[in-house]
Structures are given as structure tokens and as C-alpha cells.
Amino acid sequence: MMMMMQVPLCLDNKNEVCRVLDSIDYILTDCDGVIYLNNTVIPGTPEVLQALRDRGKTIIFVSNNSSKSRKTVLKKLNQMGFNAVIEEVFVSSSVVAEYLKARSFKGRVCLIRVIMK
């Protein structure tokens, strides 16, 4: 059964942090603005994610930037020191493509990306 944790979660001691971490198998993190900002790593995030991996957690990198492929995001992650593999990277366009493929969709799709300035 999948359980979603509600955030923010107030953890005020190490035992409570360990208890919560022990109850989690997967960590899903957005990319731009969460672990990096444009082309700058947010300090400490590669080390935190590696520490979570070392505790047996599976890290999933998600992005709603449909203009980037999984391979492009993977390359950026690895250049920034996140040691990711392609199976950990999900972008909105590839997720939708897999969803449609799984349902034997045969039509044509037009992807539109709106940039607000």
C-alpha cells in the first residue's frame, strides 16, 4: 500500500528523524528550484541524497520541464554530482508518452510548453 507523507513534518530529535526515514522507501524530488536552481547546485543536496541512498532509499528525480529529455536531465544531474541513473529520472513529457503507450494510443500528440515571464 502506498502511503503519502504530509509535509511539513516537524522533527525535533534524531530518533524521530530516524523513525520517519525508516518508514520511507522512495524519495521523489523535483529538480529545478529544489536540488538545483538553473545551473547552480543547492548546497548540500548531492550529499543529502547520497546519504539517503546509503540508508537504502530509492531516489527519484522528477521534472515538469517538458522541453528536456530524460537523458538531458540525467546529464545535468551527473555534472552536478548527483550520481543518477536514467531509471531514476522522470520528466513530464516522457511520463505522458509512457502512459499513452501503455494504453495503446495511436494518435498524434502536440506538446505545448508555456513560459510565463
In the prediction, which pLDDT does 90 show?
Answer: 95
In the prediction, which pLDDT does 93 show?
Answer: 87
In the prediction, which pLDDT does 1 show?
Answer: 54
Q: Which of 9, 28, 42 is nearest to 89 (CA)?
A: 28
Q: What's the whole-number mean pLDDT along residues 45-53? A: 95
HSE-up of residue 61 (Cα within 13 Å, Cβ side) = 29
In the prediction, which pLDDT does 48 show?
Answer: 94
Name the CA radius of gyration of the chain, rounded.
17
Quick check: 47 pLDDT over 70?
A: yes
Q: What's the whole-number mean pLDDT along residues 24-37? A: 93
With beta carbons less than 8 A apart as the criterion, state whether 61 and 29 touch.
yes
Where helices occur in 1-117 by DSSP H, the ranges are 14-22, 45-54, 70-79, 92-102
Please identify every residue annotated as catalytic. 25
Instruction: State the Cα–Cα distance between residues 111 and 92, nearest whole angstrom.
Output: 11
In the prediction, which pLDDT does 22 show?
Answer: 83
Quick check: 4 pLDDT over 80?
A: no
Domains of the chain and any CATH numbers:
23-102 (3.40.50.1000)
Quick check: 18 pLDDT over 90?
A: no
* Amino acid residing at 78: N
